Amino acid sequence: MVFVQEEIKTDILVIGGGHAGTFAAMKARDKGLDVTLADKGRVGRSGKTPWSAAYSYCDPSSGPSLESLYSESDSGSGYLVRKDYIDMWFNDSKSRYDDLSSWGALTVKNHGDAYREQLVKNNVRLLDRTMIAELLMKDGRVAGAIGFPMEEDKAIVIHATAVVICSGSGAIKLPGYPNACLTHDGQALAYLAGAEIAGKENVADRATPVKNLCNPWAQYGKEFEWTMLPRMSGSSASGSPEGGRGGERPAGPEDGNQRPDGERPEGRAVRASVSTKDMVAAAHAGKVPVTPQVLVGGPASMGPTMMEAEAQLTLSGAIGMANHRFDGIFTKLNTCTSNVEGLFAAGDAVYAAISGTGVSSAGCTVQGARAGIEAAEYALKAGKRQPGKADITEATDRVFLPRTREKGYSPAYLTQVLQHIMSPYFVLYLKKEDRLNAALTNIGFLRDHFAQSLKANDMHELRLAHETRNMLLNAEMMLRASLFRTESRGTHKREDFPDQDDKNWIAWVVISRDGDSMKLEKRSIPDAWKP
């Protein structure tokens, strides 16, 4: 099968068109560089960006103090927060808020449309419905990428001096939560290129109403009618990274924690602290019909609200996803630069462990802008490196291999088998060594015998094939990281290690590629950040 090949030469390639990707592209463009932004959906409408309903920013002149933000983030992350990223948010979020205001993005029902308008206005090349499947390398440095559109059998070869990954997080495509387009693509691209990944033992504690299980858009559909509520963290605020309410306007229907009818949004996760021991006891007592989310507050404190939750909630489609930026590409401290030359990252594709109402949106804009500026400054100095024709041909052949097979497994089949292995609550939500090893054995079998034999009948199935392999790779990372961290911390719950071990585990679990194997290491946080 012969594929048409299109070549694009650009200074900066940004992958992902949400909060982070938009700001990365805009700030790189401000430096006078040629910028290309690729998104496998539609820029401004894909990923989790349309669901943002709040924007928390800091005004350093009025507070809160950095120390109070550090303290709140320490408790929320088990001391594993990237405090350099809190510094970024503290210093830059007001400026990014001013950018959004000047764009008119805070007064429209879908701020993504305002993002797209700015990108087009500033001559950023947009590649909608284009999946980036592999990064091109030259002498150990990123030199571009191979992608393809959904509509035709065509390879798009992008030559770029720097690449910024802003493609979000991922899950394993279960129904009930509107994130099926997020499949850890950016983490997979970065890992295979040699970048470090962290936080893969963390899971998201999201729940879904049973009535919305097969209609995730009904769960959050109202948010398309909300504007993004600004929340200024000031001296009158709680001081937490979740942000206090500022004086711009009162809480109302636009608030991400309220429905227009005044009720809590359907499907918002019910969250609180629950010990691993209580979770284990409740699970073995049969109090986890489908999901551990009903255990919030512990079995002894289950009141009417919890009983109602038990009756109405089921395990969400967020399985395989961490909370915002609690897993992702591990950048160098105080930067958005990865350990691979020419590769930068921002937003939910990055490990930062800083999250909260409105901080997720603001953090993505801040990191995106930083990454775009850093990538531009790098590109202005680095000079271009051209991959050889043989390297491009070899990479293109790998990307399109599923389209050339006459026989093989469908991506849908492999995805379904992957879901059956990873979705039971006793695999990722309540962990134990024997169960983790059992799941890892099966994931390894899928990797070695099925992922190498996927068949795609059209370009849509080719996208599915790459997404499935990305999910499979990340499932292996999740299981290996969960085995490696021999304690319970945050949403990482080990039945065989139920206590938080601050003596040995105030450290990140960092994964890197070692040939065909995964290398895991414990990396201590900087001494200045330790409690």
pLDDT of residue 462: 97
Tokens 């070869």 belong to which residue? 157
CATH architecture of 400-524: Up-down Bundle (1.20)
Structure token pair of residue 452: 């190498």
Pairing of strands 229-233, 54-58: parallel
C-alpha 323 chain-centroid distance: 8
- What span, in angstroms and rounded, lies between the C-alpha atoms of 358 and 453? 42
pLDDT at 226: 58
CA 373 to chain centre: 21
Distance CA 317, CA 215 (A): 11
Q: Report how far residue 53's alpha carbon sits from residue 253's, in angstroms, rounded to the nearest whole number.
A: 10
pLDDT of residue 316: 58
Alpha helices in 383-432 (DSSP H): 389-404, 411-422, 425-428
Phi, psi of 489 (to 5 degrees): -155, 125
Q: Is the CB of residue 124 less than 8 Å from the CB of residue 37?
A: yes
Strand, coil or helix: 310: helix
Query: Of all helices (H) and strands (E), which one includes residue 276?
Result: helix 276-284
User: Which residue from 104, 145, 132, 113 is spatially nearest to 46, judged by alpha carbons?
Assistant: 113
CATH 3.50.50.60 in the chain: give the residue spans: 4-206+319-390
Residue 55 near residue 228, CB atoms below 8 Å: yes
Facing residues of 247 across strands?
none
- Compute the C-alpha angle 252/253/254, nearest 5°: 90
Token pair, residue 385, equals 């490196």
The residues of the chain that CATH labels 1.20.58.100 are 400-524
Structure tokens that stand for 336 in this block: 């958005």
The DSSP letter of residue 272 is: -
- Measured between alpha carbons, how far is 12 from 19 in angstroms, rounded to an integer? 17
Q: How far apart are CA 215 and CA 209, in angstroms?
A: 10
Answer yes or no: are the C-beta atoms of 33 and 11 closer than 8 Å.
yes
Query: What is the 8-class DSSP label of residue 495?
Result: T
Query: Rounded distance, CA 5 to CA 157, Å?
Result: 7
Q: What's the token pair of residue 383?
A: 């000079």
How long, in residues, is the chain?
Answer: 531
Where is 309: in which H helix or E strand? helix 304-312
Rounded distance between C-alpha atoms, residue 161 and residue 14, angstroms: 11
Are the C-beta atoms of residues 463 and 40 closer than 8 Å to each other?
yes
Residue 136 gets which letter from DSSP? Answer: E
The pTM for the full model equals 0.88
Among the listed residues 485, 506, 530, the one whose alpha carbon sits nearest the alpha carbon of residue 202: 485
CA–CA dist 492, 531 (Å, integer): 20
CA distance 226 to 213: 23
List, in order, residues 6 or more apart from 397 with CB less than 8 Å away: none
Q: What is the pLDDT along the chain (531 residues), one digit of tens a residue?
A: 557 789 999 999 999 999 999 999 999 999 999 999 999 999 888 777 877 778 888 887 776 788 888 888 887 788 999 999 999 999 999 999 999 999 998 888 788 889 999 999 999 999 999 999 999 999 999 999 999 999 889 999 999 999 999 999 999 988 777 777 889 999 999 999 999 999 999 998 776 666 767 776 666 655 555 567 676 664 333 333 333 333 333 223 333 333 333 333 333 333 345 678 877 887 777 665 444 333 333 233 333 333 344 444 555 567 888 888 899 999 999 999 999 999 999 999 999 998 766 788 899 999 999 999 999 999 999 988 888 899 999 999 999 999 999 999 999 999 999 999 998 889 998 999 999 999 999 999 999 999 999 999 999 999 999 999 999 999 999 999 999 999 999 889 999 999 999 999 999 999 999 999 999 999 999 999 988
The neighbouring-strand residues paired with 137 are: 142
Please write down the long-range contacts of 285-294, taking CB distance under 8 Å and 24 or more positions apart: 288/425, 290/314, 290/315, 290/425, 291/207, 291/315, 291/316, 291/425, 291/429, 292/425, 292/429, 292/430, 293/205, 293/206, 293/207, 293/269, 294/207
Q: How far apart are CA 494 and CA 13, in angstroms?
A: 40
User: How far apart are the C-alpha atoms of 178 and 173, rounded to whole Å?
Assistant: 9
Domain covering 4-206+319-390 in this structure, CATH number: 3.50.50.60
